[in-house]
Amino acid sequence: MELAGKIIVVTGGASGIGRALCRRFAKENPRGLVVADLDAAGAESVARETGGIAVAADVSVEADIRNLVERATETYGPIDLFCSNAGIMVAGGEEVKDMDWDRILNVNVKAHIFAARAVLPSMLARGEGYLLQTVSAAGLLTQIGSAPYSVTKHAALGFAEWLSTTYGDRGIRVSCLCPQGVRTNMLLDPARNRESFLVEGSLSPEEVAECVVAGLREEQFLILPHPEVAEYFRRKASDYDRWLRGMRRLQARVADQKRLPPAEGAGAERS
């Protein structure tokens, strides 16, 4: 897919990967760019910078997604590319409270479903359309320290696979963006999930956005800014038990690093 002349919507567009996508897409001369985010002021700022329009939206609310699609269509016309990029992290395991499980399921999974419901009728009627879903390498592998993130990203990948299988022969293209560590607040903020093995070798949002443009051009289902993720995925598929043993070793190493004093832990991260 070439982005020139296309109408593009990006959720979570006020910061991180979403902001980088908006900035990079703007260089491709789209006909219309819609920046959506819960942070209305941030979305306005990115929209001014990229020549698009901003729409305040909570992607966990289906009415907000429908309003977003209506605003985009009224302003520019039928949407060519809808990027379901917004996502959140919740640390912990099975003990995580139901309200937090519900919140992350709504943002990381149901928002993709809401978007598909809103845009697919028009895309199917035209016989063309593109859905880009930011999933994460956690959807292919797992997420140390966060069952909710791992579960929801697996679910998002499953939904994308289903969409491609069901509608691929009717002109609907689907891509899943599956980076590993990306230098956004989700990774770098100490109050959130910050794993040293992800910080090392992490990419900037701008590098990820560049990979997305290349992946969309080739219409790849899996867009992997970290090429090594493909090898990890192959190892998982070829010997699941061995892969699980390796993940347990990684989890133990991460736990050991967290128990070290800050200075000593930092040294361990660099080695």
**Rounded CA gap, 121 and 250, in Å?**
44
Q: What is the residue range of 263's domain?
A: 239-271
**Quick one: 252 and 207 in the same domain?**
no
pLDDT digits (tens, 9 = 90+) for 187-225: 556 554 455 556 677 899 999 999 999 999 999 999 999
Domain check: are 142 and 247 in the same one? no
Q: Say whether both 142 and 244 belong to one domain.
A: no
Residue from 15, 60, 84, 136 carrying the catalytic annotation: 136
Average pLDDT over residues 146-154: 97
Q: Is residue 1 in some structural domain?
A: no
Q: Residue 51: is its pLDDT beyond 80?
A: yes
Q: What is the mean pLDDT of the chain?
A: 91
91-100, 176-185, 197-206, 258-267: least confident range? 258-267
Q: Which of 110, 130, 153, 202 is catalytic?
A: 153
Choosing from 146, 149, 150, 175, which is the catalytic residue? Answer: 149
**Is 80 domain-assigned?**
yes
Q: What is the CATH number of the domain that holds 72?
A: 3.40.50.720
91 and 208 housed in the same domain? yes
**pLDDT class of 134 with cuts at 50, 70, 90:** very high
Domain count within the chain: 2
Respond yes or no: is residue 27 known to be catalytic: no
Tell me, yes or no, if 238 is annotated catalytic: no
Residues 85 and 197 in one domain: yes
pTM of the model: 0.89
Q: Are residues 177 and 131 in the same domain?
A: yes
| Domain presence at residue 251 | yes
Please, is 79 exposed, middle or buried when counting C-beta atoms within 10 Å of its C-beta (0-12, 13-18, 19+)? buried
Q: In the structure encoding, which two tokens stand for residue 155, read together?
A: 């679910």
Q: Is residue 219 part of a domain?
A: yes
Residue-wise pLDDT tens digits, 108-129: 999 999 999 999 999 999 999 9
Instruction: Verify whether residue 240 is a known catalytic residue.
Output: no
Q: Report pLDDT for 183.
A: 80
> CB neighbours of 270 closer than 8 A, spacing ≥ 6?
200
Mean pLDDT over residues 176-180, rounded?
95
Beta bridge partners of 84: 133
Asked whether residue 260 is domain-assigned, the answer is yes
Query: Using CA atoms, how far apart are residues 168 and 164, in angstroms rounded to an integer?
Result: 5
What is residue 261's predicted lDDT score, i.e. its pLDDT?
A: 46
Residues 146-171: what's their mean pLDDT? 98
Question: pLDDT value at position 254?
Answer: 83
